[in-house]
Structure 1
């Protein structure tokens, strides 16, 4: 069982960027350029390593390998994205690896790429890359190649040794549980569960008992400020400072159902977004399945036009540095959520507005910016489902 934090450290310590490893300060698959570059690197790494894993480490400074972290990224639909744009797409996973010195909500992203053994290429045009293009790694660069596209195994022994030195042990597991429960989340209600005598899952959050219309009168337990981690592999499975989560556990399965709060003005309601089920097997493996169960609310078109135009005016004022009134400040707090409702109801430009004004909102208020990122996360889930 590989400890992903050790794997990241070994990659950074012993290797510069090469044909099986790349590092990035951040990735942005919300915009066409960022998506295209990410797909290019995935294609090149898969072709350059046809029989072993390749890696992209996200949240690292390029010059000195300083681990600065990146936002938690929900990867549940990233395989769908790769399958949509690449022929002979590799198997790909994006894991969020916590490091003790990083601020709350920041992690190191670890992208693991496993080739199918066949030549990978772009299926269709994206940004400035043409459909049918083939990429390979040349040193630290992902370059297009027309000739000499034969797949060759050159890194199996090196990658196998790096992964061997990242194996987990009892000491690391115990230290991870203690750190999670008694240091990082000592102010929250925390739990742990051992599955199949091998896997340890820890979770923590603010507990709320609910007995109402949301669940037909039956009392259930929900968590907010949720953090869930698979300790053995040092992988953060879920993190959210805003949404509410229901957790179910038995001897074989750890399951979460995420709820998001949506509405206009004071008419708010919780909607189930996604269920993630982790099934642990007797043979020392596990499988993660995610199911989008979101049924977005529908609103009157005229009302949404008013909301959408109001939001556009607010963003323009922020961009120009015009002070907001008290009422506009209140509207600004709800702007990401109301843009989300507009986007879910056919206002295609609403998502582009959220992406376009990220930095403006970030400079205005960190709390509103956190809500903006959550809205974009929901839209990404819906888009790639």
Structure 2
């Protein structure tokens, strides 16, 4: 079992960017350009490593190699994006890896690209990349190529050696459990559960009981063996269930027009552990958007547009407008889900205006995360994605 934190350290310590490894300060999957760049690197790394894993590390400064982290990214359906644009797509996995020196809400992203042994190429264009384009890695560069046969297998021994040096140990597991419960979450309800005498899951959160159900907020859940953060939220309500074989997380999101007192189930994540040392993560989208009165939404949508216009001009907001600003991300999302097609783009365009307001910006990121989950939940993508 590979300790993913050790793997990242070994990748950073022993290799500059090369034909099996790339690093990024952050990913941008909100734009066609960002998606195109990400897909190009996936295509190139897969083609250049037909029989061994290749990796992208997210949250690292390019020049200094400093680990600065990035936002927790829980979009398990990123595979759908790869499948939509690439022919012979590799299987990929995005994992969130905590590091002790980073804040609780920051992690290092690890993209693992599984060996494919087939040449991947774009079956449809995106941004400046044309259909039928294919790419490979030469050193640290991703370049176009016309080759249609599997590429070099020169990285096999190097990658296997790095992975073997990143294997987990009992010491790492014990230290991870103690650190999680006694240090990082000593002020919260924290617990651990061992599955199949091999896997250790730790979770922490603020616990509350509503009727016969127990919920947690500010939840942090980690698979200690592999140093993977399975779930993190600074706000949401989460229910947790487990049995001898599975650990189940159901996430709820607060939504409302003038407040957030109504909770809607968003997604269920089931982690099933097997006796042979493997585990499987399955995601089921539960979210059904609430429907509101269109006349009321028109008023709220116009109010939000006027508020953003005032911010763009640098005017000082009134106390009432400050309150409206707190709800702006969620109300624009509700408008979009109720048929206001331009509301999503207005929300995305407001990013820089909302950044100076930490709580509002947190709500902004949460709203985009929900919208992204809903989009990737569908198997259908168009050229406008």
Could you tell me the TM-score, scaled by structure 2's length? Answer: 0.96
Alpha-carbon distance between aligned partners in 2 of 1:14 and 1:290, rounded to the nearest angstrom = 35
The alignment status of 1:144 with 2:136, answered yes or no, reads no
Alpha-carbon distance between aligned partners in 2 of 1:109 and 1:267, rounded to the nearest angstrom = 30
> Deviation above 6 Å: which 4+ runs of structure 1?
none
Alpha-carbon distance between aligned partners in 1 of 2:149 and 2:245, rounded to the nearest angstrom = 44
Alpha-carbon distance between aligned partners in 2 of 1:76 and 1:49, rounded to the nearest angstrom = 23
Within the candidate set 265, 272, 297, 1:272 is matched to: 265
Is the Cα–Cα contact under 8 Å of residues 221 and 232 in structure 2 kept in the other structure? yes
The alignment status of 1:18 with 2:18, answered yes or no, reads yes
The alignment status of 1:232 with 2:215, answered yes or no, reads no
Question: How far 1:263 moved relative to its partner?
Answer: 1.2
Question: How far 1:349 moved relative to its partner?
Answer: 2.0
- Alpha-carbon distance change, 266 to 378 in structure 1, aligned in 2, over 3 angstroms: closer
Question: How far 1:148 moved relative to its partner?
Answer: 6.7
Alpha-carbon distance between aligned partners in 2 of 1:268 and 1:296, rounded to the nearest angstrom = 15
Structure 1: 5+ residue stretches without partners: 212-218
Is the Cα–Cα contact under 8 Å of residues 75 and 93 in structure 1 kept in the other structure? no
Is the Cα–Cα contact under 8 Å of residues 85 and 122 in structure 1 kept in the other structure? yes
SS at 1:241 equivalent? coil
Partner of 2:359: 367
What is the count of residue pairs matched by the alignment? 377
Alpha-carbon distance between aligned partners in 1 of 2:313 and 2:140, rounded to the nearest angstrom = 41
Within the candidate set 348, 352, 357, 1:355 is matched to: 348
Matches within 5 A, 1:122-137: 122-137=122-137
Question: How far 1:116 moved relative to its partner?
Answer: 2.1
Can you list the C-alpha shifts for 1:316-340, whole angstroms capped at 9, x where unaligned? 2222211001110000000111011
SS at 1:172 equivalent? helix
Is the Cα–Cα contact under 8 Å of residues 80 and 376 in structure 2 kept in the other structure? yes
Alpha-carbon distance between aligned partners in 1 of 2:55 and 2:338, rounded to the nearest angstrom = 38
Partner of 2:306: 313
**RMSD in angstroms over aligned alpha carbons?**
1.1
Structure 2: 5+ residue stretches without partners: 378-385
Matches within 5 A, 1:371-382: 371-382=363-374
Is the Cα–Cα contact under 8 Å of residues 254 and 260 in structure 2 kept in the other structure? no
Question: How far 1:151 moved relative to its partner?
Answer: 2.2
Alpha-carbon distance between aligned partners in 1 of 2:345 and 2:161, rounded to the nearest angstrom = 44
Is the Cα–Cα contact under 8 Å of residues 75 and 95 in structure 1 kept in the other structure? no
Partner of 2:102: 102
Partner of 1:214: none
Matches within 5 A, 1:5-84: 5-84=5-84
Q: Which moved more, 1:280-289 or 1:320-329?
A: 320-329
Question: How far 1:368 moved relative to its partner?
Answer: 0.6
Alpha-carbon distance between aligned partners in 1 of 2:260 and 2:61, rounded to the nearest angstrom = 44
SS at 2:136 equivalent? strand
- Alpha-carbon distance change, 267 to 18 in structure 1, aligned in 2, over 3 angstroms: closer
Alpha-carbon distance between aligned partners in 2 of 1:281 and 1:14, rounded to the nearest angstrom = 33
Alpha-carbon distance between aligned partners in 1 of 2:48 and 2:116, rounded to the nearest angstrom = 12
- Alpha-carbon distance change, 267 to 170 in structure 1, aligned in 2, over 3 angstroms: closer
Question: How far 1:75 moved relative to its partner?
Answer: 2.6
